[in-house]
Amino acid sequence: MNETVLKNCLKGWTSPFPDNRKNSSRLYEEFKVRINGLVIKYGRVPFNGLKMKDGTPWPGNNTNNHPGMIQILFGRGGVYDNDCEKFPRLVYISREKRPDFKHNKNAGSMNALVRVSALLTNGAYILNLDCNQYINNSRALIEAMCFMMDPITLKKVCYIQFPHRFDGIDANDRYVNHNTVFYNMNLKGLDGIQGPLCFGTGCIFSRKALYGYDPPSKLKHYRKNRWGSQIKSSNDTHSYYSSTLVLDEDSSSLLVMERGYLETEFPSVSLSLEMCFGQSPIFLASILVGDDRFSQSTTHEEILREAIQVISCDYEENTGWGREVIRITTYSTLKYDFLNKKDLKVLLSKRATTRILFLTIICFIYLQITSEASIWLILLLLSVFANIVLEIRWNEVGIENWWRNRQFWVTAGISSHLFAVLQGSCGAVLRLFICSRSRTKSCAEGSEVKISKVRWTSLLILPITITLVNLIAMAVGISYALGGAYASWTLQFIKLLFTFLVIIHLYPFLKGVTSQRHQIPTILVVWSLLLAFLFSLLWINVNPFTTHFHGPSKKDCGIQC
């Protein structure tokens, strides 16, 4: 922070606050120096890979081919800090990866985390964060527990999604890094339709929801009316029952889990659980109880052995993991994959949460707008404008944030979203799956330079082509207007207005492209220029704004035409 701004901020404060702030700043700088020192000392991986204390190579040197690894940093023995407060358990987990197995990226990591954490602590809630994310609110977890442990909504809340914002990149938020409109406006509109989307990161999950427990259903209370017949009572707001089989906490026989005991006493339950969750008896026992009481008669060696088993590559085969278990239907990704088709898969899935009515929209190009048609057009534009004003006022979103979101929406709509719809449609209708590859995320990609860097791809051909076509159209229109070739200035003004609107919507995209114009691949330039030239020639030949006369030629009818 600037020194002048800091002095102005501290004006009027009494002595304790500036002193405490200076102490906090000093402690933060010391902590930063220590962390940077550790990064310099241990951040560089040796050429031959990392080695363990006994000199053997670390199994995780090859990130795509290594066995499952578990390292317990803080266990049950208890580690205390300087204030004699006990540290929570801290365990490092790396699931098994083999070249011949599909590890499913973040989803596979989440599956492994759920299984291992069930064996070690069996906590009721799971927090999912990426390696490059920060929690800027120290009370975030407490605020999430207010929703999770609310007695009214306790059995209905599946997850708590925190806003995912990128700060410190662009002061004007030109590339919608704060996602203000998305979180404050779009997700509010989903309230009542099973809540907001889940982005897979920055989210607190309920373990029961990840296990595939059915949501509670309302009990139907009936009362008799004055004629003696039964009618449904309306006073059943907070009465629920669970439609999933759950054993009660008094089943103390399950607390002493011996080998084969579950199969002997509860064969039907054991078979259904194995088909869904796998064949780990200790893991199945952790599902039936709500805490870690199942491990009282189990040694640490047995738990670690089972933990290594549940993170192996072949554990999920022929089970319900990814289908019945950890299947959040309202799932989306936010700025993770440039080409994202998951929303379309959810829409076409049989598990879609709402019945979607497909509306057929037919667009007409009016060659001549009559007075009656212009009235309906004006009413339509006024209704759209009123809807925008209502959303902005209701969600307290600034005009600038809304406009940045519109610009980003147009850019994505003619690039990634369009190709995602085509890819998802081909997969759903023609069973033709197009291979897409996502970039591996690194923890060191938090700097402004790397985030703002343009990564060239063939998806940018269409936005560049549309920009070139509109620039050519604007130049030709202005030259014709200056030459007096147009008799109707109103039509010419409307053409230039719509062309200008397209260009200013694509302005952030143009700025990003022109900032690195020396690095544009030749293939993008060639294809964009070729398509722009073809579309321009096609538009000149079609020319829909010109009234074409069909009749006899002057040569046939002479002076009578």
For residue 263, pLDDT beyond 50: yes
Decide if 466 is inside a domain.
Answer: yes
Per-residue pLDDT at 200: 74
Binding residues: 105
496-519 per-position pLDDT tens digit: 888 888 888 888 888 877 776 667
**What pLDDT sits at residue 360?**
33
**Quick one: pLDDT at residue 182?**
77
Is pTM beyond 0.75? Reply is no
| HSE-CB for 87 with a 13 A CA cutoff | 14
pLDDT in tens, 461-498: 888 888 888 888 888 878 877 776 555 677 777 778 88
Whether the per-residue pLDDT at 529 is higher than 80: the answer is yes
CB 283 within 8 A of CB 310: yes
Give residue 389's pLDDT band: very low, low, confident or very high (50, 70, 90): confident
Residue 294 lies in a domain: no
pLDDT tens, 285-313? Answer: 888 776 666 666 677 888 888 889 999 88
Tens of pLDDT along 269-282? 667 777 788 888 88
Q: Which two tokens stand for residue 443?
A: 């923890």
Q: Is residue 538 in a domain?
A: yes
Give residue 335's pLDDT.
Answer: 44
24 domain residue, yes or no: yes
User: Is residue 283, in this structure, part of any structural domain at all?
Assistant: no
With respect to residue 487, please indicate whether it lies within any of the assigned structural domains: yes
- Residue span of the structural domain in which 520 resides: 456-544
Query: What is the pLDDT, as a whole number, of residue 30?
Result: 92
In a domain, 31, yes or no: yes
Residue 243 pLDDT exceeds 50: no
The number of beta carbons lying within 10 Å of the beta carbon of residue 274 is 17
Q: How much of the chain exceeds pLDDT 70, in percent? A: 63
CA–CA separation, 325 and 322 (whole Å): 6
Indicate whether 106 pLDDT > 60.
Answer: yes
Domain count, the chain: 2
**pLDDT band, residue 235 (cuts 50/70/90):** very low
Q: Which residues are annotated as a binding site for UDP-alpha-D-glucose?
A: 105
Is 524 domain-assigned? Answer: yes
Neighbours of 239 (CB within 10 A): 13
Q: Please provide the size of the chain in residues.
A: 561
User: Taking 70 as the threshold, does the pLDDT of residue 378 lie above it?
Assistant: yes
State mean pLDDT over 156-176. Answer: 75
Closest Cα partner for 213 from 259, 252, 245, 257?
Answer: 245
pLDDT score of 366: 41
Query: Can you give the pLDDT at residue 246?
Result: 40
Q: What is the pLDDT of residue 368?
A: 53
Across 182-191, 228-237, 431-440, 496-505, the highest mean pLDDT is recorded for: 496-505
